[in-house]
Structure 1
Amino acid sequence: MNGPQAHWLQRRLHLNHGPIDLIIEAFGDAGECAAAYRQAVTRFQTVLTELVGEVAELRKPASLDRRAFAGPAAQRMEAAVSPLAQGFITPMAAVAGSVADEILAALLAGRKLDRAYVNNGGDSAIHLGSGRSITLAIAGTGHGLADRITIRAEDGIGGVATSGWRGRSFSLGIADAVTVLARTGAEADAAATLIANAVNLPGHPAVKRVPARDLAPDSDLGGRLVTTSVGPLSPADIATALDSGLAVADDFRQRGLIAAAALFLAGQSRISGSMALAAPNKVPGKEVAHA
C-alpha cells in the first residue's frame, strides 16, 4: 500500500491513503484557504496508521459505556456509535464520517473560512460560516424528488452520510439509499448505517444474503448476513421495509441524534424531519458537494 497521497483536482484537494479517499474544498480568503489545506495534508499523514493501530478494538461491538481510544478519529467513532448501542453496532459504522470530521477539524484549526467540506466517499463533514449555505448532491434520485439539498449555517448540520446495500460498505438491510443529516459526519454515518439496516424484509425470498465474513474475513459484522442482491418486490413489501426504517429514523430524530433522513427503495421514499428535497436540480450561486 502506498503512503498518503495529495493531489489537486482543479480547485479541490484530493487526499488518498489505502481505503481513505477524500475530496476537500475550502472557500474564503485565498491565504486562509492555502493555510487550511496545508494543515489538512499534515494531519492526514497519520490518520490511517492511527486507526490501524486500534482496529481490533474498533471492530468489537459498542456499548452505552464509551471505551477509551488513543487516536482522535477512533474517539470520534466511539462517541458516535455509543448512543446507538442498544442494538449491534461497532465503531466501524462511523469510520468514514469520523475521518471526514477529523480532517475538517484540522482544516479549520486557527483559520477563518467561509465554508468548507471534506467528502469521504460520500460521507461528508461540513463547515458553514455565519449566514453561509451549501448545496449537496445526494443519492436516491429517481423517486420523484430532486437530487439537491441546501444546508444553511443556522440549521446546525455538520455532517451528511448515505448508506445502503448498493454502497461500498456491507448492509444488513435492503435500502437503495438512506441519507442522514446530523451534527457531525460521524453521527450521520453511524445513524445512516442503522437506518439502512432497518429497511428490511427478513427472510424474503427475493433478497439474497451471505455471511459478511464470506465476503471479507476481517469484517466487523462477522457471520451476520449482509445483502448481496434484491429482486422484484411488491409495493406492499417496499412500503413495509421503508416504514420499518422510518420508525428507526424517527426515533433517532426525536432523541436528537439526527436532524433528518431520507430513505429510498425501489421507487418509493420516506422522509423523517425537514429535508428540503424539492425544486430545481441546480441552485444559482451555490457550491455543490456530492454526498
Structure 2
Amino acid sequence: MIGPQAAMLSDGRRLHLNHGPIDLIVEAFGDPMEVDAAYRQAKLRFDTVLIELVGELAELRRPACANPRSFTGATARRMEQAVCRMSGRFITPMAAVAGSVADEVLAAMTSGRRLDRSYANNGGDISFHLAPGMQMRAAVAGTGHGFADRVTIRFEDTVRGIATSGWRGRSHSLGIADAVTVLARDAASADAAATLIANAVDLPGHPAIKRMPANDLAPDSDLGSRMVTTAVSRLSATETADALEAGLLVAEEFVGRGLVLSAALFLNGEHRVAGTLPSDRNSTGRELAHA
C-alpha cells in the first residue's frame, strides 16, 4: 500500500487526502493564510491516522459494550466512545470509523485557526466547523419523491456531523434501507447511529431479500458470519412501511436519548423522519457535499 497522499484538487480550493481505504476531501473558508495553515495541519495529522488504526484493528473489530475500552489512538477512542453509547445492540467501533476519521482530521485542521467554515468529507460522512454567523448546506442521500433534499445548518444549530448508511453503500448492512442519513453533534455519532438505524430497517426472513454471511464477502469483516443484505427485490407498499417503521423506532429512541438530532430513512421511494431536520433557508453558503 502506498503511503498517505495529499494534493489540492483542480479547483484550487479543496484538499484531497488519501491513504488506503481512507479518502477525504477537506475544505476551509476564511483568511488565505489561515486556510493554508489549516491544510498543513490536516495533512500532518492525516499522515498517521491509518497506521494508528491498523495497530489496534483487532480490538476495534470486537463488539462494543457500555464501558469504553482503552485505546491508544485518538481516532480509535472517538470510535469507541461513539459506539459505546449505542451498545445495547450489536455494534463494533468499525461502525464509526469513517465519521471518526472525519472528526479527527477536522479537529486537527481547526486547532488554533480562525476559520469561517470548514469540513472534512470522508466518503459522505462529514464533520464540519462553523464560526458564529456562518451556515452551510448539505444534500441528503436517498431523496426524491417529494422529499426536500437540502438542509441548511447554521452556527446556532448543534449539528456538526452527518453520516449515511444503507445496504447500497460502501459498507455491508444487516438491513434493507436504501439510505439512512443522520445528523448529530459529531460525525462519529452520526456514523454509528446511521449504521444501527439502517440495520433496523428490515423484514427478517422475507423471500425478496437476499443475504450472505459478511465474512464470505470480506473475510476480515467485523460482522463475522452475520447475514448482510446483497439484493432487495420488489416490496409492497405495506412491506415498505413495515420496514421503515421498524427503523423509525430505533431512530426515535436515539433522538429521545439525545444521541442524535435527526434522521431521515429511505426505502423503495418512501421515507420517514425522526427529530427535526434543519430546513433549507435558501442559504447562500457553499454546499458541503452529498451526505
State the TM-score, normalized to the length of structure 2.
Answer: 0.97
* Percent of aligned positions that are identical: 64
Q: CA deviation at 1:278?
A: 6.3
Q: Given the alignment, which residue of 44, 48, 51 partners 2:50?
A: 48
CA RMSD of aligned residues (A): 1.0
Q: How does 1:97-246 map to 2 (within 5 A)?
A: 97-246=99-248
Structure 2: give runs of 5+ residues left out of the alignment: none
2 CA distance for matches of 1:133 and 1:58?
34
Asked if structure 2 preserves the Cα contact closer than 8 Å seen for 1:143 and 1:264, the reply is no
Match of 2:4 in 1: 4
**4+ residue stretches of structure 1 with deviation over 6 A?**
none
1 CA distance for matches of 2:269 and 2:278?
18
Q: Deviations over 1:21-73 (max 9, x none)?
A: 00000011111111000000000000000000000000000000100000000
**Count of aligned residue pairs for this structure pair:** 288
Amino acid at match of 1:245: G
1 CA distance for matches of 2:105 and 2:120?
7
Q: Deviations over 1:116-167 (max 9, x none)?
A: 0000000000111111110011211223112211111111111000000000
1 CA distance for matches of 2:247 and 2:89?
14
Match of 1:256 in 2: 258
Q: CA deviation at 1:277?
A: 5.7
Asked if structure 1 preserves the Cα contact closer than 8 Å seen for 2:180 and 2:197, the reply is yes
2 CA distance for matches of 1:55 and 1:284?
41
Asked if structure 1 preserves the Cα contact closer than 8 Å seen for 2:152 and 2:280, the reply is no
Asked if structure 1 preserves the Cα contact closer than 8 Å seen for 2:152 and 2:283, the reply is no
Please tell me whether residue 288 in structure 1 is matched to residue 290 in structure 2: no
Match of 1:68 in 2: 70
2 CA distance for matches of 1:61 and 1:39?
33
Structure 1: give runs of 5+ residues left out of the alignment: none
Q: Deviations over 1:96-117 (max 9, x none)?
A: 0000000000001110111100
2 CA distance for matches of 1:49 and 1:80?
21
State the TM-score, normalized to the length of structure 1.
Answer: 0.97
Q: How does 1:268-283 map to 2 (within 5 A)?
A: 268-276=270-278, 283=282
